[in-house]
Amino acid sequence: MDICTVKTEPFSDQICGTSGLRKKVSVFKQKNYLENFVQSLFNSLDGFEGKALVIGGDGRYFNARAIQSIIRIAVANQFGRLIIGQNGILSTPAASHLIVKREAFGGIILSASHNPGGANGDFGIKFDTAQGAPAPQSLTDKISEKSKTIDHYWTCDMPNIDLSVIGEQTIGSTVIEIVDSIDDYAEYMQTIFDFDVIRGLFKKGFKMSYNAMNAVTGPYAKRIFEDLLGADSGTVINATPLPDFGGLHPEPNLTYAKTFVDMMYQDNAPDFGAASDGDGDRYMILGHRFFTSPADSLAIIAEYMDTIPFYQGRVYGVARSMPTANAVDYVAQAKNMPVYATPTGWKFFSSLLETHKIALCGEESFGTGSFHLSEKDGIWAVLCWLYIIATTGKSVQELNEELWQKYGRVYNSTQNYEGLEIEPTKEMLLSLEKRLPALVGETFNGLTVTQTGLFNYTDPVTGEEATRQGYMICFDNARIFLRLSGTGSSGATLRVYYMKRETQAENMKQNAVDYLQSLADVAVEILHLEKYTGRNKPDVIT
């Protein structure tokens, strides 16, 4: 085996977003593009020589080829051990757990999460630290800076590694270990939840459907829900990870999982439905003819978390991303727990989890997790729901309505405007920023603006600052929050979040989108949306 130095030139667009680098597959397939980024990553790290590195991804198109390149670069950079999921497959939460369990230096996760796959789809790469947590802002900024000046990378002349065969082999001074992708994660879930309790639910005839959307969680879900918990064979649908996700858009929401949602609203639908995203860290919860919003799901888990033995006496506090509706705040207040509001991006929860300031956290896009991992965890969240249903005997709808009756219903909805032209969108937001102070006191559709501002954040543990994380327009008992997404691969995606609290019981069973329409109309008016973007309707509503 020979180590080679490859001359290269920098790319100007290797700027990390909220979850690593995401681009179109065609971009990653450019000569040296992936290799530049990986070497820039390694150039940003210290003390990894001889240490272990976990590698895996969601199986999307380009995953296998990328892993072979990363293996060569990691060997040339003198990592001591590479721990790789069989067939290159590792869900994001499983990778996070494996990093910690094997005391690895960190891990490379290949995924564009909920973005579409295939040859014309998206690809992504991110780094998790030794804590199994997403790289902090300081590291991702460093990687992006290194990528601007890189002029060479190291690789080695070696054959492709057979990723299908579990076992070890040594290349140079590096041990390459292929491991079962599911075993460690499934074993860990059994230490958190009493599987006998959940198994009893299925023994009583409880019916469930889990839509893996031809993404990474299919094998995990079949092992856990069907094999270990005894759910009926066929409970897990779209269970085989495919490079293009079988043409499905692997984002579990009312738009991209519409066929599944429609199935859950049929007369003969199962009692419980769940769906996952591309890399397994997001989820969606449905009951029979009932959708649970991300904010309500987080609040319900918070309400019952201390009934799960693993968490008893260990629920220290909760956190949510600022765009997430504040339903969980009322639960935390009743339980005398602190609440933190962070920018979007799971990395902002990491320091709070690691220092036990919080035990539970979640975000508006159905990402939820706890201190059991430093990544969000979709299957874990579904297991939380199954345990709560098993121990309370209540349905998804009953749990939601119970929450509303106790704390008031926080109606919430997210509307995404995708593929916008970048410059006009930035101009629109700059115009809004200049007008924010003057909006206070103005009335729109009977709603009077009480507060406006930019959301800036200082990490209470590390002191790191994140500025200009979104725009707030507040009213009495209502709020509009908007920001540009950091997870898109092209163009601009504007996400607008609506929230309004309702305390009158007779008004708590309306359709959320309809209830919030007047607030959405206000946003279109204040933004001058059609003037700048040519749009007056969103592409996705959840």
Q: Give yes or no for a contact between 343 and 96, defined as CB atoms under 8 angstroms apart.
A: no
Contacts for 482-487: CB closer than 8 Å, 24+ residues apart: 482/429, 482/523, 482/527, 483/323, 483/344, 484/425, 484/429, 485/18, 485/416, 486/17, 486/18, 486/19, 486/344, 486/345, 487/17, 487/18, 487/19, 487/22, 487/112, 487/113, 487/114, 487/115
Q: What is the C-alpha separation between 145 and 404, in angstroms, rounded? A: 47
Tell me whether residue 391 is exposed, middle or buried, using C-beta atoms within 10 angstroms of its C-beta: 0 to 12, 13 to 18, 19 or more.
middle
Helix boundaries (H) for 22-129: 25-28, 33-43, 63-76, 92-101
Residue with tokens 């950079």: 77
Question: CA triplet 352, 356, 360: central angle to 5 degrees?
Answer: 70
Strands (E), 311-456: 318-321, 339-342, 360-363, 367-370, 409-420, 443-444, 447-454
Residue type, 37: F
Q: Which of 365, 345, 485, 489 is nearest to 22 (CA)?
A: 489
3-state DSSP call for residue 178? strand
Residue with tokens 């230490």: 191
Of the listed 113, 276, 297, 489, which one is catalytic? 113
- How many other CB atoms are there within 10 angstroms of residue 406's CB atom? 12
Q: Which DSSP state fits 50? A: T
What CA dihedral angle connects 183, 90, 102 and 93, to 10 degrees? -90
Is 40 a known active-site residue? no
Kind and range of the H or E run holding 393 = none
Length of the chain: 542
* Residues classed as catalytic: 113
